[in-house]
Amino acid sequence: MSYQRRYALVRPLPQSFSAALQQQPVPLDVKLAHDQHERYTAVLRQLVGQLIVVPADERYPDSCFIEDTAILVESVAVIARIGADSRRGESSAVSSVLQKLQQIEPALRLHRLTEPATLDGGDVLQMAGKIFVGLSKRTNAEAITQLKELFPDRVVALPVAAGLHLKSVLSALDDDTLLVADDPAARSMAKHILQALPKAQALYLPDAVAANVVRIDNTVLIQDGFPQSESILLQAAAARKLQVEKLNMSELIKADGALTCCSLLLE
């Protein structure tokens, strides 16, 4: 079998996850979170050519949310400067792993966002060749300036009006279909994206967290436990002949994580 998605990076959940950042503090069940993350990892392993596991690091309770550490655009990796102070060190292990990967993938190029830029990968949506970047509590205008230098004509900035990150309330099912939480703030964010992509349409979902899916080749990973959104997603997947994998990430959701946040995908 040949895969289009050749690599995925994941980072195991540390025991210190109980101290993960939360917008609304509620107790976290670390064992359950661990099991949910393991299942996510197992599903991903089936879908990509090679799953790369970045070593866990107890110093960083949020480090399983590896998406925030870098942006991968075709063969370019941009190492992020994460917005939250407690998380900033998470990027260096990911950067080392990508540097090692360059030995077998010489086309892979690495760039680094530099101070005063801050950016979380969760604020970056790639869709139909564009790179949408949310200005949020974590991602600032300087990061957008630096990204525009790296990817001229591709970067579109928009304000994050709801949720922690841009992708907390939306994601791409494919190049023409934007999944969006059905609330006014998410709709206003989606408007910016749809203006830049005239061919794209929005599909609104009643559960914000369900609007974050991972698409890998002909499979889409969706959240388990949101039946109304699920039936809309199942219909959309069937219309596109996509396989669906349902994953229950309830404990990671309590720490504001969704599906995209637990991996980095490299073509």
Site residues, ligand CIR (CB under 6 A) = 20-21, 62, 65, 67-68, 84, 87, 120-122, 164-165, 255-258, 261
Looking at the DSSP assignment, which residues form a beta bridge with residue 132? 125, 156
- Least Å distance between CB 121 and ligand CIR? 6
Complex with ligand CIR: residue 21 or 76, whichever CB lies closer: 21
Alpha helix stretches (DSSP H) within 59-119: 90-104
Among the listed residues 34, 37, 64, 261, the single catalytic one is: 261
- Least Å distance between CB 69 and ligand CIR? 10
Complex with ligand CIR: residue 137 or 148, whichever CB lies closer: 137
Q: Amino acid identity, residue 92? A: S
261 as an active site residue: the answer is yes
Q: Which of 121, 99, 125, 97 is nearest to 110 (CA)?
A: 99
Looking at the DSSP assignment, which residues form a beta bridge with residue 127? 130
- Least Å distance between CB 114 and ligand CIR? 21
165 as an active site residue: the answer is yes
Complex with ligand CIR: residue 57 or 105, whichever CB lies closer: 57
Closest-by-Cβ residue to ligand CIR is 122
Strands of 88-199, DSSP E: 109-112, 124-127, 130-135, 155-159, 170-174, 177-181
Pairing of strands 243-247, 219-223: parallel
Among the listed residues 111, 165, 192, 262, the single catalytic one is: 165
Contact (Cβ atoms closer than 8 angstroms) between residue 66 and residue 98: no
Q: Tell me which residues are annotated as active site.
A: 165, 261
